Structure 1
Amino acid sequence: MIPYVRDIAFEYGRCDQLSPLIRRVIANNPGPFTYVGTGTYIVGRDEVAVIDPGPDDPAHLEAILAAIPGERVTHIVITHHHSDHSPLAGALKARTGAPVYGCAVATPDEDDGGVKMEAGHDAGFRPDVSLCGGGEIAGPGWTLEAIPTPGHTSNHLCYALKEENCLFSGDHIMGWSTTVITPPDGDMTDYLRSLEAIRERGFSTLWPTHGAPIREVRPFIDAYLAHRQERMDQITTALAAGPARIRDLVPRLYADVDARLHPAAARSMLAAMIHLTRQGVLAADGEPGPDSTYRLA
């Protein structure tokens, strides 16, 4: 069982001091993909970095600026291009003059009219400074290391705050829920590799963009990995009875889940199928896709 952390004390628009170097303001955009809302982090004092300014919400912009009177924003830092993370970067840059740091998506997803698995994409996201290959940014008394963590999206970055041995984990690891992996931009193989890389860093705290901090980091990541493996084991066990398509397996493997969520479960299963095919565990009739027939290799 994943030891979810779901209790969080907050008020929308209020700035909370979370640690000596970290403050947070939560946007009023609760929902099925955002939990209580987007948590925008402010790192440092006097000259600060703002991590994931959030959705295009003028009230949230004013709340961020009200939290730093007399201080200067020197870095606007983005974990990835989803619409609950990056759209406000442009307005914050216009008000502060700070450049935007992050990683652009090489091939943005298109809206295919299918089931929505996320809050949407910020198709116009273009950082001023690319951190796709990693790198460091710094201010007085703080240093952030960009760590490429593809999986949830191809351009996802986490940021380690060296002075506090903590990580701003974006949507890569969330305390309240598992992370959505939706092909083609989401990739299960990359995601599992990124999880293992973060686990080995030995961070003392994870600060997700949505929800409360994770303090027991290694056990939490171990449970995250075990959950993904359990889902893949369910697939291989089901396919031991014979070839099947995703649409055949979802009602069986997600029988305890509201049927309205089965289309979303199918997208998640597709990510697992692609991964297992790469690993040589499964075979598909042609390129693995949502309508392919899968069998044990």
Structure 2
Amino acid sequence: MDAATQDRPYTLAEMVDPLVRRVLARNPSPFTYTGTQTYIVGTGHDVAVIDPGPDEPEHIAALVDAISDARVVAICCTHTHRDHSPAAAPLAAHTGAPVIGCAPLTLEDDGPRADAAFDSGYRPDRVLAEGERIGGKGWTLTALATPGHTSNHLCFALPESGALFTGDHVMGWSTSVISPPDGDMTAYLDSLAKLYAREQDRVYFPAHGPAVERPRQLVRGMIGHRRSREKQILRQIEAGIGVIAEMVPLMYKGVDERLWPTAGRSVLAHLIDLERRGAVMRSGEQWTTIA
């Protein structure tokens, strides 16, 4: 852990917007940056909690302290990786609030991400569909279906302030991990295009990393980055390098080798997308282009 991470204000509720406070969980990692950011929406009697985070007593105590005497209208989860949703159950038990948000989802294996297995204990009281809303005095949250990082991923829009809570779909510090079989590059790119079309979002609050002050600019760059990566993959195949394990060291030079297995999952996600579009085909581990 570097000095910057050590100095982060864990357990403290920070005001990041007139209607939003943030509490940072002490679970930094190569996939969570400085940790999971839990957001408390609303400053009056009614509040919502977005991405309650890991089931860590210190973090849950900090959330309870920040909530104080307010009524928790909903505990909302963007998706069910273990750094996002496990604190929902104990927080619900303490506050009496319903768990409302993404659908439950568990897989035996979603690729080599030791910190991001699915939360098998997640039990929502209500699953939100596209466009459904919850609210309290002075605020409203609208669910946006954004599959790709996971098939059950939601973002939450706060129209009163122009904020969008993006979970792991869009982050300012890193691109999202897309790991088949549940991670889906086709769906992810479609979801990015969906967010890019939204001109009303002033700022993104991701679950990890800093707020995104120029969201459409970042999303446009992310789409461009994925298209560039796709072209890079096709060039590798055309050069006779059609096995993912051989592509990754060439494509991710300078990246910590411990992250190469995850990078390989992202390459696989691109290849599956290209296969659907009729650009490539596979035979075992070997991929070739289709003329």
TM range (shorter): over 0.9
Does the Cα contact within 8 Å between 1:13 and 1:26 map onto a contact in 2?
yes
Residue 117 of structure 1, CA deviation:
6.1
Does the Cα contact within 8 Å between 1:34 and 1:119 map onto a contact in 2?
no
Does the Cα contact within 8 Å between 1:138 and 1:144 map onto a contact in 2?
yes
What is the aligned counterpart of 2:151 among 141, 154, 170?
A: 154
Q: Give 2:288's aligned residue.
A: 295
Alignment coverage as a number of residue pairs: 285
Is 1:230 equivalent to 2:228 in the alignment? yes
Q: Give 2:193's aligned residue.
A: 196
> Deviations along 1:200-254, whole A, 9 cap, x unmatched?
1121100001121000111111111111111111011111223622122222222
In structure 2, what is the Cα distance between the partners aligned to 1:275 and 1:80? 22
In structure 1, what is the Cα distance between the partners aligned to 2:194 and 2:154? 13
**Residue type matched to 1:82 in 2?**
H
Residue 118 of structure 1, CA deviation:
4.5
Is 1:164 equivalent to 2:161 in the alignment? yes
Residue 34 of structure 1, CA deviation:
1.0
In structure 1, what is the Cα distance between the partners aligned to 2:20 and 2:8? 15
1:164 alignment partner, SS class = coil
2:14 alignment partner, SS class = strand
**Residue type matched to 1:252 in 2?**
L
What is the aligned counterpart of 2:133 among 136, 145, 152?
A: 136
In structure 1, what is the Cα distance between the partners aligned to 2:114 and 2:93? 31
In structure 2, what is the Cα distance between the partners aligned to 1:249 and 1:212? 31
Is 1:79 equivalent to 2:73 in the alignment? no
Same amino acid, percent of matched pairs: 49
Q: Give 1:56's aligned residue.
A: 55
What is the aligned counterpart of 1:180 among 177, 186, 197?
A: 177
Q: Give 2:116's aligned residue.
A: 119
1:12 alignment partner, SS class = coil
Does the Cα contact within 8 Å between 1:117 and 1:180 map onto a contact in 2?
no
RMSD: 2.0
Tell me which moved more, 10-19 or 168-177.
10-19
Q: Please report the TM-score for the alignment, with normalisation by the length of structure 2.
A: 0.92
Does the Cα contact within 8 Å between 1:82 and 1:122 map onto a contact in 2?
yes
Q: Give 1:288's aligned residue.
A: none
Q: Give 1:25's aligned residue.
A: 23
Structure 2: 5+ residue runs without aligned partners?
none
Does the Cα contact within 8 Å between 2:51 and 2:76 map onto a contact in 1?
yes
In structure 1, what is the Cα distance between the partners aligned to 2:76 and 2:209? 18
Structure showing greater relative contact order (alpha-carbon pairs closer than 8 Å, 6 or more residues apart): 1
Q: Please report the TM-score for the alignment, with normalisation by the length of structure 1.
A: 0.91
- Change in CA separation of 1:117 and 1:227 when aligned onto 2, cut-off 3 Å: farther
Q: Give 2:253's aligned residue.
A: 255
In structure 2, what is the Cα distance between the partners aligned to 1:22 and 1:259? 37
Tell me which moved more, 29-38 or 146-155.
29-38
Does the Cα contact within 8 Å between 2:83 and 2:115 map onto a contact in 1?
no
Structure 1: 5+ residue runs without aligned partners?
1-5, 286-290
**Residue type matched to 2:64 in 1?**
L
Residue 296 of structure 1, CA deviation:
1.0
